[in-house]
Structure 1
Amino acid sequence: MTNAAILELFATISDIDLACSSERALEIFEGILQRFGLHSFLITGLPVPHDSEWHRAILHDGWASEWFTRYESEGHFPHDPCAARSRLSAEPFLWHQLPAGVLTPRARLVMDEAAEFGMKDGFCVPIHVPLAGPAVVTAASDRIEIPPGSMPLIETLCVHLYRKVSSFGNNPDNEEGSPLTARERELLQWSAQGKTTEDIACILGITTHTVESHHRNIRDKLDAINVVHAVVKALRRDEIQI
């Protein structure tokens, strides 16, 4: 890895540390990933495999919505070999480094189906925080271009990103008793005004994947079956106004 590339990664870490919002930190991170040929990434806690509410631990869902739907509908989480290894190991790894000979048929199916959705290879950076459960920052694409020797710096970048996004998630600008963050209420307010996912992404300067992730979290928190139902419940709770 060249000195210029190393300096750039250090500058990126500094930019993430100085970001004033999780959206800005994610935007910076996404820009670096694209230079390595990566187009999808996920930041999530790793509950025990049998936890049916595992998706509540997601801090940022940058997977394609079609893949998330398949992953959830097929019940892949308990069999995901990347999640399993990330729970047990603190060392970052590339997906192709998973030992194929010891993968169960269900684990192989998870990876094979991910490849069908354009995620043929990727990396995982496990995050192990004292007094907290395991987590992971993972990114993937159909072809990755990570220079030799760069993983230690990518690991540092992912750890800083996780801490930054977690700090915003753990200190939401909520009204007392509200399950929604200020950002979730803002997004739902736009939904109540009839704005589409694409509209909201443009208005807030975030990706459609981020909007969809917020919508999922909102539905979970309000126990709503869809966005319209969530809007109705939020209006009844005086979370938003129209």
Structure 2
Amino acid sequence: MGVQEKAVFEFIERVDNHILVDDLLDDLLKVVGDYGFQHMIYTGLPVENTSIEPLVKTNRFPQAWWDRYIERDYAKRDAVCQQMFSTMSPFAWQEVQPEFSSKAGAAQVAGEAAEHGLTDGYIVPVFSRDEWLSAISFGASTKLKLSPKDRGALNLMAVYTSSAIERRQEKQPTRGKLTSREREVLLWTSAGKSCWDVSVILGISEKTVRFHTAQIRTKLNASNTIHAVARALQQGEITLGQLAESLGDIH
């Protein structure tokens, strides 16, 4: 076993020994530094007009770059981010397909990222209990040539790191995002009821129903009702029993 491979497996053995996430990330960045990376981020990916900012779980990208990325909503033009919606396979940033890299603004985002020390990178889709699509992305200040063995090592470390972070979050007490009224609105709309129908059923104004619907989508980072229901089920905001009961009310 080579030195790099040994370092990877030793990191995996240490993953659950770190009490603080920051210590875990310090350790990860030290190991991936041998592959040429200096930065990383673990985040969910935004859908349609939502923002990536509330989806970030851990971030070790240069702060000045990240501030600009958020301020200018670059996720919508970032070719790396956009390609993630079409594949579940890890890939190097320089391997982004032309259909994404040629879109308006994509070259500008890549150029500005390079100015902030993010010339190249490697992104790995990972499991998240909160988001329908998440990834760990490693960033480097220079162009890299990764061998299949290098990619395998990065994939492995990304999966173990994300799993360790998820386990820590599971141990933390959680509070429901949705109010009881918002859950009612979501269940009725999932049954195919219009905003007017829901307003009559719940005895509130149609304007209020629309407000609750907008709040639900914002809180769950959902693009439509179907997506909101899936996210609510995933996060325990509603149960399959409640959903089945609401669907039964269609008849």
Is this a same-fold pair by TM over 0.5? yes
1:46 is the counterpart of 2:45: yes
Aligned to 1:57: 55
Aligned to 1:163: 163
Q: What does the per-residue CA deviation read over 1:138-187, in whole Å, with 9 as the maximum and x for residues that have no partner?
A: 1112215565221012101101101111222343368x89xxxxxxxxxx
Worse-matched range after superposition: 152-161 or 13-22: 13-22
SS in 2 for 1:91: coil
From 65, 68, 73, the equivalent of 2:66 is 68
SS in 1 for 2:105: helix
Aligned to 1:208: none
TM-score by length of 2: 0.62
Greater relative contact order (Cα < 8 A, sep 6+): 1
CA distance in 2 between counterparts of 1:68 and 1:131 reads 22
CA distance in 2 between counterparts of 1:147 and 1:114 reads 20
Any conservation in 1 of the 2:16–2:164 contact (CA below 8 Å)?
yes
Any conservation in 1 of the 2:44–2:131 contact (CA below 8 Å)?
no
Q: What does the per-residue CA deviation read over 1:49-91, in whole Å, with 9 as the maximum and x for residues that have no partner?
A: 4103x21111111111110111112220122221222233221
Which amino acid in the other structure matches residue 64 of structure 1? P
Aligned to 1:172: 172
Any conservation in 2 of the 1:123–1:140 contact (CA below 8 Å)?
yes
CA distance in 1 between counterparts of 2:10 and 2:35 reads 16
Any conservation in 1 of the 2:43–2:135 contact (CA below 8 Å)?
yes
Which amino acid in the other structure matches residue 25 of structure 1? L
Aligned to 2:206: none
- Residues 163 and 144 (structure 1), Cα distance of their counterparts in 2 relative to 1, 3 Å cut: farther
Q: Any runs of at least 4 consecutive aligned residues in structure 1 with deviations exceeding 4 A, and if so which?
A: 128-132, 144-147
* Percent identity of paired positions between Structure 1 and Structure 2: 18
Q: What count of residue pairs does the alignment treat as equivalent?
A: 176
- Residues 145 and 112 (structure 1), Cα distance of their counterparts in 2 relative to 1, 3 Å cut: closer
RMSD across aligned positions (CA): 2.7
Structure label with greater radius of gyration: 2
TM-score by length of 1: 0.64
Any conservation in 2 of the 1:36–1:144 contact (CA below 8 Å)?
no
CA distance in 1 between counterparts of 2:138 and 2:128 reads 20
- Residues 133 and 172 (structure 1), Cα distance of their counterparts in 2 relative to 1, 3 Å cut: same
Question: Which blocks of at least 5 consecutive residues in structure 2 are unaligned?
Answer: 177-251
- Residues 102 and 64 (structure 1), Cα distance of their counterparts in 2 relative to 1, 3 Å cut: closer
Q: What does the per-residue CA deviation read over 1:80-123, in whole Å, with 9 as the maximum and x for residues that have no partner?
A: 22122223322111111112465202222211111111111011
Any conservation in 2 of the 1:43–1:60 contact (CA below 8 Å)?
yes
- Residues 9 and 153 (structure 1), Cα distance of their counterparts in 2 relative to 1, 3 Å cut: same
1:153 is the counterpart of 2:153: yes
